[in-house]
Structure 1
Amino acid sequence: MPNQTIEKITAAIQYLETHLMEKTDLDTVAEALHYSKYHLHRMFTNTVGMTIHEYVLRRRLTEAAKLLVFSDRPVLDIALGAGYESQQAFTKIFTAMYKQPPSRYRENEKFYPLQLKFELEGSYHMLDSYENASEKITFAQDSDIPCWMDLVRLVIDGFPHLREKDYLQVLKQSIADRQALILKDQETAIGILLFSRETGSIDFMGTHPLYRKKGIPKAFLDKVMQELAAGKEISITTYREGDRADTGHRREIKNLGFAEAELLVEFGYPTQRFILPKEGPDASIS
């Protein structure tokens, strides 16, 4: 991916963030940045993994959720500030995305984001010469935590109910237990995976958006199944079918060869467990 594309996406994100609570759509952004709206739509969606409309929706709700927890502003004021014409409309979409109404979310006093500002800072030297990913996957070290967390924030849309403080404790323990794998492009994390040798469960798997089509998830799965959990049944959980908050992660997991298993509720969020047959991920997936 040329640097010019990254620069254009960065400019679009900056515009959206600056005008987050204003009426913003594809036409507005394209006109402001002097881009073709069709080119911008394709480029934005392919890079970020969601449309401009979806990004703005998730960012507004995240900022609204922050205000619910950290301010005393009335829900109606927060709803209007987030661009909704009524508290009812705001409550409907908030509940669909957060799986609880704003009032209950405020009572729980636990903020977690749907979408953080999309950042594309880093070095991407391997984009044009990417090969043998599995050979470059290593066990993460404590020194990798900053770049690991940068990637977590970038792919936060795939992990509902993720709170950084709790996640960091799990990450540090996983690193100590040699159950955290990382793939880096120089100092930038482009793939991360937390797993359990004991249960065969993948607790977190994230791929840098710029490397989404480089076969990184399959490389991680190959390494886990061949070297770390040979003979074990591998499982992972993700959104349930039809979840409004899913930006495509359920589809990606199924494309890797995982089969649907039981429905779960994790940290109060409805999810579904998926199981990878012991013969491994579909060799045709790249």
Structure 2
Amino acid sequence: MIQTVRDNFPGLETAEQLEDYKKTVIKNIKRKTALCTKSDNGNIIGVLIFSYHSKCLSCMAVHPNYRKIGIGYAMVKKMIELFPKDMNISVTTFREGDLKGVAPRALYKKIGFLEDELVEEFNYPHQKFIFRNRS
């Protein structure tokens, strides 16, 4: 699945970067800091990686054929449930005006993330969002 969505993620341009990312996903699955969603035939169609230590949603991707049906929403809500209450959670995504950021920005805002500082990751402009986990 990552091969399919790699164009949406700065830092996954080369085969080496893609292989490193695959190892990162496997490592996070083993330590229970990854959520995966499978299709009826068992293929992974969504993945979300997070960090308790960094208090962040590190990466989320949903296969293009399965978007706009609530998979990303459900994975983010589940991740929030796993974090201790009163712990803020951050995520960075594309900045306003970047077409790659339209869907993720809308999703994070719908869930209650608030816009924060402008940052750069992988030499690409991003914006941080913060969720104040109070429930």
State the TM-score, normalized to the length of structure 2.
0.79
1:52-131 correspondence runs (5 A): none
Q: 1:171: which partner in 2?
A: 25
1:155 equivalent in alignment to 2:10: no
Q: 1:194: which partner in 2?
A: 49
As a proportion of its length, which structure holds more strand? 2
Q: Deviations over 1:230-282 (max 9, x none)?
A: 312121111112235546433333233221111111122221111123146xx
* 8 Å Cα contact 1:234/1:277 also seen in 2: yes
Deviation at 1:169, TM superposition (A): 3.0
Q: Write the distance in 2 (CA, Å) between the matches of 1:255 and 1:242.
A: 18
* 8 Å Cα contact 1:263/1:270 also seen in 2: yes
Q: 1:203: which partner in 2?
A: 58
As a proportion of its length, which structure holds more helix? 1
Aligned length: 129
Q: Deviations over 1:3-53 (max 9, x none)?
A: xxxxxxxxxxxxxxxxxxxxxxxxxxxxxxxxxxxxxxxxxxxxxxxxxxx
* 8 Å Cα contact 1:158/1:247 also seen in 2: no
> Larger relative CO (CA 8 A, sep 6+): 1 or 2?
2
Q: Secondary structure at the match of 2:120?
A: strand
Deviation at 1:203, TM superposition (A): 0.9
Q: 1:235: which partner in 2?
A: 90
Larger radius of gyration, structure 1 or 2? 1
Q: Deviations over 1:186-213 (max 9, x none)?
A: 3211221101122221111112223322
* 8 Å Cα contact 1:192/1:207 also seen in 2: yes
User: 1:218 and 1:172, CA in 2 relative to 1: closer, same or farther beyond 3 A?
Assistant: same
Q: Write the distance in 1 (CA, Å) between the matches of 2:74 and 2:8.
A: 19
Instruction: Please report the RMSD computed on the Cα atoms of aligned residues, expressed in angstroms.
Output: 2.2
State the TM-score, normalized to the length of structure 1.
0.41
Letter in 2 for 1:180: A
Q: Write the distance in 1 (CA, Å) between the matches of 2:67 and 2:75.
A: 13
1:266 equivalent in alignment to 2:121: yes
Between the aligned residues of both structures, percent identity stands at 38
Q: Secondary structure at the match of 1:160?
A: coil
Letter in 1 for 2:132: P
Q: Secondary structure at the match of 1:155?
A: helix
Q: 1:225: which partner in 2?
A: 80
Letter in 1 for 2:71: I
1:22-33 correspondence runs (5 A): none
Gaps of 5+ in 1: 1-150, 281-286
Q: 2:105: which partner in 1?
A: 250
